[in-house]
Amino acid sequence: MNPGEDSGPGVLGLIDEHLDSIRAQLTDEQYQLLLTRLRALADTPPEDSRAVRRAFQAVRLSLLPLPFDHPVRQAMDSVRLVATAAAGPPVVLRTRDLLARLTAVPAPPPDTAAIIAAAERRLLKAPAFSAAELRARYGASPPPPELIRLADPRFGDRYPEFQFPPGGGTPYEVVLEVNRVLLADADPWGAADWWLSDNAWLGGPPASLLGVLPDRELVDAAAALVEGD
């Protein structure tokens, strides 16, 4: 990707170019999740830059399972060197073009609800506090709005444990800052996916690197995903 190239269309162009190898490297669930998020991006109003950025972020998250040496994964990790953020209309239009090519080959319609549910079940397997356990930490005070809160259909709200230091205490300040960058209030599942998935730039899942890497590196990695910086 050239330094002056917009990160959004550039990554989408590489997805188009390497679609066959992407399909080969992802499981059926992972590939269907990618398609689901591409459709959501294509349906986003182009003039709503915040919504486009959030939808594009979700597409990039769905590509994290690719091997570190895959051209699309390498391009995603190098986007932090690009000084421009993903622009709304070009990203949406490029996504619509990509989907038009994908749908030119007949395929069974994906069960979108089942794909999303499978991804959410995976994230709910991570250790988490219940709402009652969180109240025991905070008393009558409401938890910070930046905390990732995942709605578990069986057990109610769950707050992933990685957001807190071992042994108790308030959430990591860097977690709250990163969650603000990742728009966790609007997309808690996407934010949780970022924290709990391997990250080539950081060298592992960000949640496992709290207290290991400098806080600034975690913030910069999140900003690179959201802004394309």
Query: Which residues are within 8 A (CB) of 211 and not within 5 positions of it... i.e. 6 or more apart?
Result: 165
Band of the pLDDT at 175, cuts 50, 70, 90? Answer: very high
Asked whether residue 25 carries a pLDDT value surpassing 80, the answer given is yes
Res. 110: pLDDT tops 80: no
pLDDT at residue number 174: 95
> Would you tell me the crossing angle of helices 49-62 and 88-102 to the nearest 10 degrees?
50
Q: Give every CB contact of residue 160 below 8 A, 6+ residues apart in sequence.
A: 123, 126, 127, 128, 148, 150, 192, 195, 196, 207
Mind listing the pLDDT tens digit for each residue in 78-90? Answer: 654 333 345 567 8
In this prediction, residue 179 has a pLDDT band, given cuts at 50, 70 and 90, of very high
Q: 147 near 176, Cβ under 8 Å? A: yes
Residue scoring higher pLDDT (102 or 28): 28
The whole-chain average pLDDT of the chain stands at: 79
**Residue 84 pLDDT:** 36
Eight-class DSSP state of 43: T
pTM: 0.58
> Is the predicted pLDDT of residue 106 greater than 60, yes or no?
no
| pLDDT score recorded for residue 127 | 92
SS3 content of the chain, % helix, strand, coil (to 5): 60, 5, 35
Judged against a pLDDT cut of 60, whether residue 123 lies above it is answered with yes
Report which of 91, 207, 99 is spatially closest to residue 148, judged by C-alpha positions: 207
Query: What is the residue whose two structure tokens read 């769950």?
Result: 158
28 or 85, greater pLDDT: 28
Least confident of 43-47, 108-112, 212-216: 108-112
Whether the pLDDT of residue 163 is over 90: the answer is yes
- Please count the helices (runs of H) and the strands (runs of E) in the chain: 11, 3
User: What is the pLDDT at residue 6?
Assistant: 42
Instruction: Tell me the C-alpha to C-alpha distance, in Å, between residue 184 and each of 51, 66, 90, 149, 210.
Output: 13, 23, 25, 8, 18
How high is the pLDDT of residue 50? 80
- pLDDT of 75 > 80? The answer is no
Indicate if the pLDDT at residue 107 is higher than 70.
Answer: no
